[in-house]
Amino acid sequence: MAMLEVKVDGLALDMTTNSPVVILTPINLNKVLPIWIGHAEAWAIATELSGVGTKRPMTHDLLKSVITTLSARVEKVEITELREQTFYAQVLLRLNGNSFTIDARPSDSIALALKLGAPIFAEEALFNLKSSDQLPEVSNDPESLADRLRKIDPEDFGKYSL
């Protein structure tokens, strides 16, 4: 299992499913990995990417507070696989010299990693999937995804404005 370090390259809205999509790109590679996520998780990721806080702690803020209060740290987040159109991830946590691997949704893992400044990794094989490999009718080829995202009306992002 080869892991590639990735960065969050942005958020988009898939018009066919009306679902937010987080776009991950490997550092120093011209590939993309789109992951369809929920609206609440998109909001959490967007607020962190924009540097805008909320008046009250949201769920990911609460989790960050619990982790830091316990003097634990998130070593990294890993997006590990795609099974039956569902992406899987894990949070690798260190506490008192012990390592813990916690099963989590990629969207929650990404939001938490952004809040804590932890690195994000994705399984290299995920960047080679085609739409026939369980992705919602889109290739993750950078050119075809870029074309699809260019067709999205900027007005559709209004509800994600901060």
Residue 161 lies in a domain: no
Report pLDDT digits (tens) over 7-50.
Answer: 999 999 988 888 999 999 999 889 999 999 999 999 999 999 99
CA distance 59 to 69: 15
162 domain residue, yes or no: no
* Verdict on whether the full-model pTM lies above 0.85: no
CA-to-CA separations, 41 to 38, 49, 73, 130, 146, in angstroms, rounded = 5, 12, 21, 25, 22
Is residue 159 situated within a structural domain? no
Specify the number of domains making up the chain: 1
Distance CA 125, CA 118 (A): 22
**In a domain? residue 64:** yes
Q: Please determine, for residue 139, whether its predicted confidence score (pLDDT) is greater than 80.
A: no
Helix pair 106-116, 59-69: axis angle to 10 deg: 60
Provide the pLDDT for residue 160.
Answer: 40
Pick from 6, 16, 142: nearest CA to 87:
6
Greater pLDDT, 155 or 48: 48
Quick check: is 79 in a domain?
A: yes
Q: How many helices (H) and strands (E) does the chain have?
A: 4, 7
CATH of the domain at 14: 3.10.690.10
Which residues form the domain of 33? 3-154
- Could you report the per-residue pLDDT of 61-118, keeping only the tens digit for each? 999 999 999 999 999 999 999 999 899 999 999 999 999 999 999 999 999 999 999 9
Q: Does residue 160 fall inside a structural domain? A: no
Report the pLDDT value the prediction gives residue 138, as an integer from 0 to 100: 46
